[in-house]
Amino acid sequence: MRAFFALFLTASLFFSPAATASPGRAAEGETLTVGTGQSAREFMLFRPAGTSGPVPLVMVFHGGGGGDDWMAGRSRELNRTLTNAGYAVAYMNGSARHRREKLRTWNAIHCCAYAARQRINEAAFADAAVDLLDQRIGIDRTRIFLTGHSNGAMLSYRLAGQMKTTPRAIAPVSGAIFADQPAIPARTSIFMYHAKNDDVLSFDGNPDDKAERWRTAPHLGFVDAEARLAELKSCGRASPAGGPAGLATTTRTCTGGSVLIATAAETGGHEWPARPQADYRIEDALLEFFNSQR
């Protein structure tokens, strides 16, 4: 596994060792395309179960080196959890040098690889996907949520203030912000998660020669990132929230009625889906968070 991971890291990726599994293409997803020619990009739509009228949308952004079908395959439990609760789920596809290439990244400005070097306009892609989905199934534009892992989590922090339709909330998992993080809209809540033993994207923001090669700036550690986001969003004092041992969660109330929730796990590494311990499912945490944003 470590040898496979080292190979991926050399290719500018941020997968965890758990990504060595081969889940295959997720069943029952509908592949849609926005743009034409070289700008065309696909994403996978999973429709909600038994719902009519405008539906809430969760847009999922894979980690660096992944793709929409890879992420959907790794996220079957998340998919069931969200679609059964009435959410449409769209697994978004990053960019690669060649259109058919599976190893894709996102332009989170300081990371990663091809997408960042080419300055890909990720907001335009997300906006076009929302417009197409609205035509297809009718989206509740007051309840658009972004979540992602690693490079995809980095992107969600950036997209929050760039999309035409402001997301109701973002939920970055094992991601990071940088010192030049732009403002987050007042109405956008944040759920952020990171494991202290993450050996790919350091919890403390410590430089790592392997990973730093693929970024143009150091990332902020989780605690500093939470404080910076609280400053940007004019949040109140952090209050500890109850939860299982091995997980430390704080909550802040911010301007615009939004919240900032930060969960630090003692274990779990850089894995997707996050599994720090047997009694914690990231799928349940995300659903509870999204449901609270009404």
**pLDDT, mean over the chain:** 89
Which pLDDT belongs to residue 28?
A: 75
Amino acid at 17: P
Residue 183 CA to residue 137 CA, distance in Å, equals 31
Residue 56 CA to residue 293 CA, distance in Å, equals 11
**pTM exceeds 0.85, yes or no:** yes
Q: Over the stretch 93-118, which tens digit does the pLDDT of each residue have?
A: 999 988 778 889 999 999 999 999 99
Most confident of 40-54, 208-222, 226-240: 226-240
Burial 160-191 (b: 16+ CB within 10 A, else e): bbbbeebbbbbbbbbbbbbeebeebbebbbbb
Of all residues in the chain, what percent are helix, strand and coil, respectively (each to 5)?
30, 25, 45
* Least trusted range by pLDDT, from 11-15, 46-50, 186-190, 272-276: 11-15
- Predicted confidence (pLDDT) at residue 5 exceeds the cutoff of 90: no
Which pLDDT belongs to residue 216?
A: 82
Residue 258 CA to residue 254 CA, distance in Å, equals 5
CB 85: neighbour CB atoms within 10 A? 15
Task: Give all strands of the β-sheet with 30-34 in edge-to-edge order.
Answer: 30-34, 41-46, 88-92, 55-61, 139-149, 169-173, 189-195, 259-265, 247-253, 239-241
- Predicted confidence (pLDDT) at residue 9 exceeds the cutoff of 70: no
Residue 249 CA to residue 243 CA, distance in Å, equals 7
Q: Over the stretch 19-67, which tens digit does the pLDDT of each residue have?
A: 333 344 445 799 999 987 778 999 999 999 877 789 999 999 999 999 9
Nearest to 174 by CA among 278, 81, 62, 28: 62
The mean pLDDT of 253-269, rounded to a whole number, is 97
- Predicted confidence (pLDDT) at residue 7 exceeds the cutoff of 70: no
- Predicted confidence (pLDDT) at residue 11 exceeds the cutoff of 50: no
* Least trusted range by pLDDT, from 149-153, 156-160, 184-188, 211-215: 211-215
- Predicted confidence (pLDDT) at residue 1 exceeds the cutoff of 70: no
Question: Strand, helix or coil at 69?
Answer: helix
The mean pLDDT of 283-290, rounded to a whole number, is 98
The H-assigned helical ranges of 104-167 are 113-117, 122-137, 151-159
Nearest to 234 by CA among 262, 251, 256: 256
Which pLDDT belongs to residue 10?
A: 31
Which pLDDT belongs to residue 214?
A: 67
% of residues, the chain, pLDDT over 90: 78
Sequence length of the chain is 294
Of residues 245 and 134, more confidence is placed in: 134
State the architecture of 2-292 in CATH terms.
3-Layer(aba) Sandwich (3.40)
Please, which pLDDT band fits residue 213 given cuts at 50, 70 and 90?
low
- Predicted confidence (pLDDT) at residue 265 exceeds the cutoff of 90: yes
